[in-house]
Amino acid sequence: MKVIRTRVKLSVMLYIVFLLILSACSSSTSASSDRTNSANSGNATNLAPAGYKKFMVFMGNGEFSPSSMNDMMSMMSGADFFRHMDWNDDQITQHKAQALAFFKLRYGLDFSKSNQIGHAMFLDFTNDPHMNLRAYSISDMNVPRSGWFVDDGGWAVYAVKGSMTLYGTYGGATGTQVPAGTALMFGYYKINTGSTPIIIAYQAIVPMFTDMAGDSTVICQVSNDQFGKGMNQGVMGMPEMLPNGNMKYDVREVMTFPGY
């Protein structure tokens, strides 16, 4: 069936830009089942490339309805993600403090007294489960062909309505201005393997931009207790309009440990 590519309204583009993983196909009920019933049969075990300890590939190709409030609002709050992580209030507070410290050091944005500085807004988020973000390849692991569902969430800074100026180790003393729709990310991936989940922390070391074609890129430093530090690079294409009126995600991410 021919897919019709179309531009979406600015409000939808701004909504899309800070989804990461940029992360069941038609309903969160299906995603919940995938979190607990992942099979361990499928692709043969693959080895990490020479010089690397771990190698992963994520893809997201799920659909969402732009006319459905359930679809459009599903990523606005971090509460769902915190629940999937089994974090209590003290743990949420601890991780939030780490996010605040990162945004202050890397981008010179201090949200300790307010969640908004000019056009920059600090918020928690759960990535849209309709994205159907899955890990399809992990070196030295037997990942099923259906992949393992990945929960994604944390905290973000989002430039609303207008541009924001970034300082810190990224923008320096003079600052660097970025346009409306830019996102800064601090979060975690939870790869639901069917047994012990794999938790990976990530920090966007450069802002996440959307170009004139509606495509976004993200570059994150990642870390895991077992694999150490690494790098994640991802691309999110402009979601495409399907004949049924739904939008289809187009997300690809590659992660390596170490990150060089």
239 pLDDT band, cuts 50/70/90, is confident
SS3 50: coil
The whole-model pTM stands at: 0.82
21-51 as b/e: b if 16+ CB within 10 A: bbbbbeeeebbeebbeebeeeeeeeeebeee
- Which tens digit of pLDDT belongs to each residue from 203-214? 999 999 888 888
pLDDT at position 44: 52
pLDDT digits (tens, 9 = 90+) for 1-19: 433 333 333 333 434 444 4
| SS3 at position 122 | strand
Domain ranges of the chain: 10-257
Asked if 59 and 251 touch (Cβ cutoff 8 Å), the reply is: yes
- Higher model confidence: residue 186 or residue 6? 186
Whether 73 has a pLDDT exceeding 80, the answer reads no
208 SS3 class: strand
Q: What is the pLDDT of residue 4?
A: 35
- Per-residue pLDDT, 79: 92
For residue 82, pLDDT beyond 90: yes
- 208-237 per-position pLDDT tens digit: 988 888 889 999 999 999 999 999 999 998
Q: Are 130 and 24 in contact (CB under 8 A)?
A: yes
